[in-house]
């Protein structure tokens, strides 16, 4: 029987049973990583089955990372770097294209999140941030099952620091076990109660006939459903990781209380937005300023925001409403920046409570309209 990660109570039952040895190891101040590796292998087999694509992907990516780390010590040739970077992205490109052009999906569950790990490592090896590559650490980083299907998007150096950290009994009980259980309980509440109720009692009852009122209704329902469903997934992943001794980053922080779209993206799918910010936006802006592509940093920043968010839209899929979603988010960030820079009204009132409440309401609706575009509801005919 194949398990579906974080989708039903049977998976949670299997998960809770499988975490007992990890808890015992943590309480007795023993290393959890070897059991974590074994458990990850077993869980991936239970979730994916014994297929060929995942092992091939894993072998190719780990070999690429190891070989490039050896090459990088001898040369910093940018063309070799670009080639390695392209090769690391190739499985995701093939998968996305296959969804449009073939009846056979050339990919597997969790491919996108795994590809982020490979791309990040190639970039940081080139930068010199990663100097040594340990096969066991890479393998565990890729196989770590709690974040397999839904993130959060972790970084290899942060992951390895947690892996080698000595955790005392009291620290494990207070900062790992209790925190992990709290996250899992929150995940149950978010996904299996709140999201399920929104889906069954509200969203599924909205007509597919596109009218203004139906679209508005669906926008609110889908936005709340997506937050609690995805927030539930993320909370499960974080909680499970904590119990295994790995403190993966949080993915959500009350995003619908944001006062601007910039703040929204610091609170919504945090690990993904930071990944795109670090490896696309920041690098594009710095490169643009060095090469003087634009007359000032503001223009470079705006172009970088458009490129970053459009790329994020493409990452979700090659359907055109994902691309529209990405462009919309880029424009929302650009206009937010222009407004905050130029508006005297904003500068005069930004610290006043009433104005901050207005900002929250406006940002909520701007964000929700973006999620309506993302849902494809407006394009289902």
- Residues 153-158, mean pLDDT to the nearest whole number: 95
Distance CA 100, CA 192 (A): 32
Q: How many CA atoms lie within 13 A of 274 on its CB side?
A: 15
- Under the banding of pLDDT at 50, 70 and 90, the label for residue 218 is very high
Summarize pLDDT for 81-91 with one digit per residue, the tens. 999 999 999 99
Rounded CA separation 381/307 (Å) = 29
**What phi and psi values does residue 228 have, to the nearest 5 degrees?**
-70, -35
Average pLDDT over residues 111-120: 93
Distance CA 4, CA 297 (A): 46
CA distance 175 to 184: 14
Tokens of 235: 């909370």
Q: Which is catalytic among the residues 126, 269, 316, 349?
A: 316
Give the mean pLDDT of 310-325.
93
With a pLDDT cut of 90, the percent of the chain lying above it is 87
Q: Is the pLDDT of residue 187 over 90?
A: yes
pTM above 0.85, yes or no: yes
Residues 6+ apart with CB under 8 A from 6: 12, 149, 150, 187, 191, 232, 233, 236, 237
pLDDT of residue 150: 83
pLDDT of 199 strictly over 90: yes
pLDDT of 252 reads: 97
User: With 80 as the cut, is the pLDDT of residue 7 above it?
Assistant: yes
pLDDT (tens digit per residue) in 25-67: 999 999 999 999 999 999 999 998 877 889 999 999 999 999 9
Check whether 380 has a pLDDT greater than 90.
no
pLDDT of residue 102: 65
Per-residue confidence band for 101, with pLDDT thresholds at 50, 70 and 90: confident
Question: Percent of the chain, pLDDT > 70?
Answer: 99
* Residue range 352-378: mean pLDDT, rounded: 97
For residue 152, say if its preceding peptide bond is cis, omega within 30 degrees of 0.
yes
Q: Do residues 275 and 120 lie in contact, with contact meaning Cβ atoms separated by under 8 Å? A: yes
What pLDDT does residue 381 have?
Answer: 62
pLDDT in tens, 225-255: 999 999 999 999 999 999 999 999 999 999 9
Q: How far apart, in Å, do the first and last CA atoms of the chain sit?
A: 36
Q: Using an 8 Å Cβ cutoff, are 371 and 223 in contact? A: yes
Q: Is residue 295 very low, low, confident or very high in pLDDT (cuts 50, 70, 90)?
A: confident
Tokens for 368?
A: 């929700």
Please give the Cα distance from 88 to 118 (Å, whole number). Answer: 6
130 φ, ψ (degrees, to nearest 5): -110, 115
Residue 202: HSE in the Cβ half-sphere, 13 Å Cα cutoff: 18
Q: What is the mean pLDDT of residues 325-331?
A: 98
126 in catalytic set? no
Averaged pLDDT, 340-364: 96
Q: What is the pLDDT of residue 1?
A: 59
Please give the average per-residue pLDDT across 131-140, as a whole number. 94
**Residues 293, 9: Cα–Cα separation, whole Å:** 54
Contacts of 258 (CB under 8 A, 6+ apart): 264, 266, 267, 268, 360, 363, 364, 367
Nearest to 236 by CA among 2, 6, 3: 6
Say whether pLDDT at 119 is over 70.
yes
The answer to whether residue 337 scores a pLDDT higher than 80 is yes
CA 120 centroid distance within chain: 13
| H helix and E strand count, the chain | 18, 0
- The mean-pLDDT minimum among 22-36, 107-121, 341-355 falls in 107-121
Tell me the average pLDDT across 3-29: 94
Mean pLDDT of 199-210: 95
Q: Does residue 351 register a pLDDT over 80?
A: yes
- Which is nearest to 217 in space by CA: 359, 381, 372, 324? 372
- What whole-number distance in Å separates Cα of residue 324 and Cα of residue 374? 8
Residues 6+ apart with CB under 8 A from 259: 356, 359, 360, 363
User: What span, in angstroms and rounded, lies between the C-alpha atoms of 97 and 108?
Assistant: 14
Q: What angle do CA 66, 60, 79 make, to 5 degrees?
A: 65
Mean per-residue pLDDT, 114-136: 95
């Amino acid at each position: 029987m194949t398990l579906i990660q974080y989708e039903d109570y049977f998976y949670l039952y299997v998960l809770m049973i499988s975490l007992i040895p990890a808890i015992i190891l943590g309480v007795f101040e023993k290393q959890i990583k070897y059991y974590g590796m074994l458990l990850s292998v077993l869980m991936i087999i239970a979730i994916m089955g014994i297929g060929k694509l995942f092992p091939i992907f894993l072998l190719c990516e780990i070999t690429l990372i190891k070989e490039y780390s050896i090459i990088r010590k001898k040369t910093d040739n940018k063309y070799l770097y670009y080639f390695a970077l392209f090769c690391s992205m190739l499985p995701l490109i093939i998968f996305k294209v296959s969804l449009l052009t073939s009846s056979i999906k050339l990919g597997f569950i969790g491919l996108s999140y795994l590809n982020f790990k490979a791309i990040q490592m190639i970039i940081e090896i080139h930068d010199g941030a990663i100097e040594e590559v340990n096969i066991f650490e890479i393998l565990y980083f890729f196989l770590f099952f709690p974040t397999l299907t839904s993130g959060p998007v972790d970084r290899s150096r942060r992951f390895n620091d947690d892996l080698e950290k000595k955790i005392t009994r009291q620290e494990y009980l207070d900062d790992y076990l209790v925190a992990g259980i709290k996250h899992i309980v929150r995940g149950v509440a978010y996904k299996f109660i709140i999201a399920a109720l929104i889906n069954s009692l509200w969203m599924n009852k909205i007509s597919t006939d596109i009218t203004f009122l139906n679209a508005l209704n669906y926008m609110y329902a889908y936005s709340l459903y997506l937050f609690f469903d995805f927030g539930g997934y993320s909370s499960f992943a974080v909680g499970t990781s904590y119990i295994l001794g790995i403190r993966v980053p949080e993915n959500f922080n009350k995003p619908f209380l944001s006062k601007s779209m910039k703040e929204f993206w610091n609170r919504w799918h945090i690990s993904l937005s930071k990944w795109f910010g670090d490896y696309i936006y920041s690098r594009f802006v710095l490169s643009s300023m060095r090469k003087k592509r634009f007359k000032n940093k503001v223009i470079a920043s705006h172009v970088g925001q458009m490129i970053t968010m459009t790329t994020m839209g493409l990452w979700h899929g090659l359907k055109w409403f994902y691309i529209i979603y990405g462009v919309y988010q880029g424009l929302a960030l650009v206009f937010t920046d222009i407004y905050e820079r130029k508006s005297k009204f904003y500068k005069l009132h930004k610290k006043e409570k009433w104005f901050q409440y207005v900002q929250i309401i406006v940002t909520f609706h701007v964000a929700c309209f973006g999620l309506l575009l993302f849902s494809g509801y407006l394009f289902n005919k």
